[in-house]
């Protein structure tokens, strides 16, 4: 009988964590009887009763948690005598709070996503970067987006908040008034309405408001990648930056901030994408202008090759299995 693997997910909104879990689940099935416990992610779910029966059985169980509330739930079962191996992934790059650190120390193994995150944690951990479902995030020709008037699209996907750098992107996008066939499409959940108003005001200031579109987060994000020639990830901080990897998998030409999240590991500047210093409007504007004019190659195919070879969900799953099976 196979050992049991249970990933937990207690979060109402779909996030990069959600997608990362869904990406790897299918690749565990040869080695584990695999389930999801919680809500908000797609997979083979088990009920609380089924979970309890498994945890208090004689079966070999691995539980992989991704958030504090999930770890706490599992520690309660452990306090009542349940026996299982507890794996916890730290998804944030910032220094953890005392509570988070205490919870992570209670896990049998801790996973981080990138080296800086690993270094900041201060406890033993294993680095396993996220992977992309390369069979789903694929290039596709002639994809168009509803209600977008322009032919060519620059995409920015992810939470709409100051740390994600959309202000920098809007300021650099003033060049669009010289290129009427180009649009900037910003897709993501808005944290604060006032910040959205600030972004719209910048577009109006540069008279590009008819070329800038704000779209709420959508499950159809793949079609947005496929329709876009350029994807910009102007973040000041990232836990990993799954958007960058997904965009590259779709053969988009990616411009991302240097030394943020996994950007400088995924991207070799001018070989499979472009890097610029976070907050440098002029540098981003220059790259955008040259790419729009065709003075810089798009580099979408090398980007796709990078993800396919080194950053697939299958590879992530293989690395996680090593953690699950380690002593």
pLDDT of residue 14: 83
| Residue (of 235, 258, 257, 254) closest to 245 by Cα position | 254
3-state percent breakdown (helix, strand, coil) of the chain, nearest 5: 40, 20, 40
Domains for the chain: give ranges and CATH numbers. 4-131+312-325 (3.40.50.2000), 152-310 (3.40.50.2000)
pLDDT of residue 116: 86
d(CA 111, CA 214): 34
pLDDT of residue 239: 84
d(CA 42, CA 36): 8
pLDDT of residue 302: 97
9 and 21 Cβ atoms separated by less than 8 Å: yes
Low-confidence ranges of the chain (pLDDT < 70): none
d(CA 103, CA 124): 13
| Residue (of 90, 132, 115, 126) closest to 264 by Cα position | 115
Q: Which two structure tokens, joined as six digits, stand for 6?
A: 């249970």
pLDDT of residue 94: 83
pLDDT of residue 327: 84
DSSP 8-state assignment for residue 295: S
d(CA 208, CA 154): 13
Q: Phi/psi of residue 83, each to 5°?
A: -115, 120
């Amino acid at each position: 009988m196979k050992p049991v693997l249970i990933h937990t997910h207690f979060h109402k909104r779909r996030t990069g964590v959600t997608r990362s879990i869904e990406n790897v689940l299918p690749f565990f099935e040869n080695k584990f009887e695999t389930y999801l416990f919680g809500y908000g992610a797609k997979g083979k779910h088990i009920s609380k009763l089924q979970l309890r029966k498994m945890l208090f059985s004689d079966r070999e169980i691995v539980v992989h948690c991704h958030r504090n509330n999930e770890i706490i739930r599992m520690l309660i079962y452990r306090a009542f005598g349940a026996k299982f191996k507890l794996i916890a992934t730290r998804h944030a790059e910032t220094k953890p709070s005392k509570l988070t650190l205490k919870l992570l120390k209670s896990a049998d193994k801790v996973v981080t996503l990138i080296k800086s995150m690993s270094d900041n944690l201060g406890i033993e951990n294993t680095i396993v970067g996220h992977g992309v479902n390369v069979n789903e995030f694929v290039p596709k020709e002639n994809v168009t987006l509803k209600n977008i008037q322009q032919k060519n699209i620059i995409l920015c996907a992810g939470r709409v908040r100051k740390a994600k750098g959309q202000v920098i992107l809007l300021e650099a996008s003033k060049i669009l008034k010289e290129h009427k066939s180009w649009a900037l499409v910003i897709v993501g959940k808005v944290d604060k309405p006032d910040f959205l108003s600030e972004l719209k005001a910048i577009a109006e200031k540069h008279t590009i408001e008819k070329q800038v579109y704000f779209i709420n987060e959508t499950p159809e994000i793949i079609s947005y990648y496929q329709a876009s020639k350029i994807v910009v990830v102007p973040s000041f901080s990232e836990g990993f930056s799954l958007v960058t990897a997904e965009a590259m998998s779709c053969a988009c030409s990616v411009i991302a901030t240097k030394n943020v999240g996994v950007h400088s590991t995924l991207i070799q500047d001018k070989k499979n994408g472009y890097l610029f210093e976070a907050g440098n409007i002029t540098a981003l504007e220059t790259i955008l202008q040259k790419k729009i004019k065709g003075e810089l190659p798009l580099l979408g195919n090398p980007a796709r090759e990078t993800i396919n070879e080194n950053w697939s969900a299958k590879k992530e799953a293989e690395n996680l299995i090593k953690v699950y099976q380690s002593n």
